[in-house]
Chain A
């Protein structure tokens, strides 16, 4: 049995490596949120359009993005998109990193979320009800946290993020005893990052709510169209 202190020391030694992996999770999530929010914003606007054809199209698009399982889509993109591509009209070849494929896969879920939540927010904003529209911000952030957790699935296509780096550490040290501690340590990263932000968003939400002197219950952001994984 390896002494407790040795395991702690191992974890400390590998902390920069693991933290780098978590930074990758954040990067994947931020890119996914950016792409997803931009496209979701377009669809949300389509939902408010007066043209019935545009409106119907927006509903179909939202329905599709809601139903695509991101985990399978991740595999789909990993297999179907090339590892590198030639930039059109130039001769330069650009690599298509796996982490970007992961971001793209996750952004599908973000599109659905934004379409559902942005369109009422935009409507309120246009009515001049800016306060209610602002409620979108805490919902968006809570959703981003779900995406951070879902970004761990990128490990299955070999992206070197936190969960995948846990497996690397286990293989590199070759110690069976480190398996449980290293995974628990990874949990600390996720809980340590998500929990405070979640509390903060709840607080922000109640502050906005109080400002609006809302009497009717509005509830937290509904459990969104992604599994968190």
Chain B
């Protein structure tokens, strides 16, 4: 009985139409046999989840009464379309009983309605078709919330889960961020819709395979650094003994939120309100996070963010994110991809209008998160610039003072150190100190700050050039004043002869501060690449970045030029 209603994974997709109706009819007459009592299975978060719709009662007269909900109550069971071939979201256990993350959610909804649950196995191909036919009341089957699907069904907001693209890597992989994968060989399966977009956003070198199996074997044989695929599909793989130790360390990209779907005509009804309130409640009580953990899924950032957002309260004690009497949800809490210019206000509205008209996505202007990320990146870049200019000058002056001392050993040592400084690429120096020396210090429990290391290495590299310029100017000075020697007091005498190359070196170091992005210093370039990876607006962000830097360098050149003239004038006095 139960096997008919929801237990046959093989039937998914070709499940004949009539038997479901039959099963449903039987379920309606003998509910107890079709389903396990919900409250015992739904988990700990459930206890707190109680009065569901009470927090936000649907406003009188604004939400319609749903015929469907009435039917469900009369029938005594909820016909939920759930997957049985997508572990751990919907699968069957050894004895053929359908179980999974989404089964738990469906059970909770049935419990809230006060009926039993009948599981109808569905596939990605037929889930919305069955809903349209009325064979099922609700779909909760790994369904992404897209604009097309909104036309054929009522998609419930808030979204309850999300999927995206990640990388399946071997146990010994050191990859931590998508920027580590730039230019690397990445295995992918042909025909996946995200391949092209991912390659564009992260500069990947994709190696195509006909199926997932071959791609994963290629990862095992180290023919590529990892297999790029949907994270929820890979979730089952990392749980298999065959792939023990394999992991998905990178942040999920191209995130698509998942939604529960109900019939197209159920829009703005008490059925929609009930399901929507249930999902909001799951976010607030932590039920979803708890179930995710129980099913061995990696903690998703989506659920954590949603929890924070939906539990946030305004000063008057009300939830910031909530459903209003007319059924609408606070715009800021909605899935941003479905916000149109009409829903937004102010700068955001303006930005969305530009996007609608021209396709140019100026997220760095209208998106609060992007704008603040870009701005704080700019601040860190400015800080790096000031520190590197100061550091390079300090290293240069100290080096010049040391090299001009009478002690031959000190002089030789200083010159040698400066040669090494000028002849090794600063990026290599940064890795050498942060990773190489850092690995030794890690044993002592000391962690180096990437920002400090970047400033130190760039100052060393540039400072060495500053020092050489000063020593050469000192050589020139000695032609007129034979016993000239650089000391703090006589420093000003070489200013006119050294200022040109010194200023050039300082301008260069301010151009090089972006190297910090290679070691995850959150400066402007890092901010830009992370905005690109979130929105894919490559052209806009890259042009803005180049323009910002040109402006920044222009200002630095002007300021250093002014400083140079002042110093030369002072020195001449």
Q: Which of B181, B420, B439 is A191 in contact with, Cβ under 8 Å?
A: B420
A225 at the interface (CB under 8 A from B): yes
Pairwise interchain contact A158-B515, C-beta atoms closer than 8 A:
no
Q: What total of A-B pairs shows CB separation below 8 Å?
A: 169
A194 at the interface (CB under 8 A from B): yes
A73 at the interface (CB under 8 A from B): yes
A69 at the interface (CB under 8 A from B): yes
Instruction: Kindly state the interface size class of chain B when it binds its partner.
Output: 35 or more
A50 at the interface (CB under 8 A from B): no
Q: Which of A12-20, A30-38, A125-133, A178-186 contacts B (4 or more CB under 8 A)?
A: A178-186
Q: Which of B174, B179, B435 is A183 in contact with, Cβ under 8 Å?
A: B435
A120 at the interface (CB under 8 A from B): no
Once bound together, how far apart are the Cα atoms of A188 and B69, in whole Å?
75
How many whole Å from A8's CB to the nearest CB in chain B?
Answer: 16
Interface residues of B in 271-301 (CB under 8 A from A): none
Q: Which of B142-150, B157-165, B400-408, B461-469 contacts A (4 or more CB under 8 A)?
A: B461-469
Pairwise interchain contact A71-B203, C-beta atoms closer than 8 A:
no
Q: Which of B422, B501, B515 is A153 in contact with, Cβ under 8 Å?
A: B515
Once bound together, how far apart are the Cα atoms of A72 and B173, in whole Å?
28
Q: Which of B2-10, B342-350, B355-363, B426-434 contacts A (4 or more CB under 8 A)?
A: B426-434
How many whole Å from A63's CB to the nearest CB in chain B?
Answer: 9
Q: Please give, as numbers and ranges, the residues of chain A lying within 8 Å of B114 by CB-CB distance.
A: none
Pairwise interchain contact A191-B424, C-beta atoms closer than 8 A:
yes
Chain A window 177-201, contacts with chain B (Cβ cutoff 8 Å), 1 for yes, 0 for no: 1011111101100110011001000
Pairwise interchain contact A152-B174, C-beta atoms closer than 8 A:
no
Q: Which of A53-61, A85-93, A205-213, A216-224 contacts B (4 or more CB under 8 A)?
A: A216-224
How many whole Å from A138's CB to the nearest CB in chain B?
Answer: 15
Interface of B is mostly: helix
Chain B window 247-290, contacts with chain A (Cβ cutoff 8 Å), 1 for yes, 0 for no: 00000000000000000000000000000000000000000000
Interface residues of A in 132-174 (CB under 8 A from B): 145, 149-150, 152-153, 155-160, 163-164, 166-167, 170-171, 174
Q: Can you offer 24 A-B residue contacts whose CB atoms are under 8 A?
A: A67-B553, A67-B554, A69-B549, A71-B512, A71-B515, A72-B549, A75-B528, A79-B538, A149-B423, A156-B517, A157-B203, A158-B183, A179-B435, A183-B428, A184-B432, A187-B420, A187-B424, A187-B432, A191-B419, A198-B423, A223-B501, A227-B462, A227-B508, A229-B425
B residues at A contact (CB < 8 Å): 172-174, 179, 181-184, 199-200, 203, 205, 419-420, 422-428, 431-432, 435-437, 439-440, 458, 461-462, 465, 468-469, 472, 475-476, 479, 500-502, 504-505, 507-509, 511-512, 514-515, 517-518, 525, 528-529, 532, 538-539, 542, 545-546, 549-550, 553-554, 557
